[in-house]
Amino acid sequence: MPVPARLAPAKVNLGLYVLRRRPDGYHDLSTVFLPLGWADRLSGRRADELVLTTTDPGLPTDGSNLVVRAALALRQWAGNPALGAALHLEKRVPYGAGLGGGSSDAAAALRLLTGLWSLDVPEADLHALALGLGSDVPFFLDGVPAYGTGRGEHLDPLLDPDGQPYRCPFWLVVAVPDIHVSTAEAFASITPDDGSRPDLAAAVVSNDLVRWRAEVTNDFQGPVEATHPEIRAAREALLDAGAGHAVLSGTGAAVVGVFEAEDTAVEAAEALPATCRVWTELPEGE
């Protein structure tokens, strides 16, 4: 039975606090995940072997690709090494950029192959498989705005004050400088101070940009910008062009600029350095 292709959306973090280092080496976080319309596309059909092809020649297609790792993990869960698939990934979102591109592809692979292989996988098992692939992967299983804690895998849907799913009312311009930030190095550069932190979910859903500037912040921004001036330049270009707020996503290099008006957002996107890849996200409902 053929299954429909799946979109694998990027995300931005609207705020990211690193709360403490854990005995297992990971860090407890507090963050808001917001999915974007910018997405990769994963398609697949049953095949004798497990094969991945992609539109991006720079991307590995062996066991180091999270899509292949997701397929192998699911096949192991099913206990059936004969399960095969020909998977094709249209790569559109820059990876290694703090946009969760690889994690989203992995979640899309879990969902797509569950259907393709007609597996009845309990959601809790799928969540555990996702977490085994990476801290951000569980978020992408549903891909709805969420408040994440723990490694980022404890997810609460982000609700507005009326209890409705949060819809971001702003234009977002995502600038991705053409540099790579090592996630492990970024975590190593942080010393959490165990102090109390603002309620990030409440800050985001307030839609108050004064509050966003004070509280929707990313603990990686200072240390990462200190070693990567291109990121600071992109963020300052967004602010100079009229962003009400601009903040690093994940461990970078992506920066998200927040705009109240379309014309300012469009002009800001055009004013970014030519070396940046740029995505403009419309307010939800536009």
Give the residue, chosen from 1, 82, 184, 274, that forms a contact with ligand C5P under the rule CB under 6 A. 184
As a whole number of angstroms, the distance between CA 10 and CA 43 comes to 17
State which of residues 41, 43, 144, 187 lies at the interface with ligand C5P (CB under 6 A). 187
- Of 43, 183, 189, 227, the one binding ligand C5P (CB under 6 A) is 183
Name which position in 54, 104, 135, 249 contacts ligand C5P (CB under 6 A): 135
Tell me the window of 84-92, 132-140, 226-234, 271-279 that interacts with ligand C5P (CB under 6 A): 132-140
Query: Is the Cβ of residue 98 or residue 134 nearer to ligand C5P in the bound state?
Result: 134
Q: Which is catalytic among the residues 40, 105, 136, 219?
A: 136
91 carries an active-site annotation: no
Binding mask 11-40 for ligand C5P (x = CB under 6 A): ---------------xx-x-----------
Q: Is 66 annotated as a binding residue?
A: no
Q: Is 152 in the site for ligand C5P (CB under 6 A)?
A: yes
Residue 63 contacts residue 105 (beta carbons within 8 Å): no
104 annotated to a ligand binding site: yes
- Which residue out of 11, 40, 91, 105 is catalytically annotated? 11
Query: Which residue lies nearer to ligand C5P by CB, 77 or 187?
Result: 187
Say if residue 100 carries a ligand binding annotation.
yes
**Does the annotation place 103 within a ligand binding site?**
yes
Nearer to ligand C5P, 27 or 111 (CB): 27
Rounded alpha-carbon distances, angstroms, from residue 277 to 83, 165, 232, 271:
38, 29, 15, 12
Binding site listing: 94-104
Binding site listing for ATP: 94-104
Catalytic sites, residue numbers: 11, 136
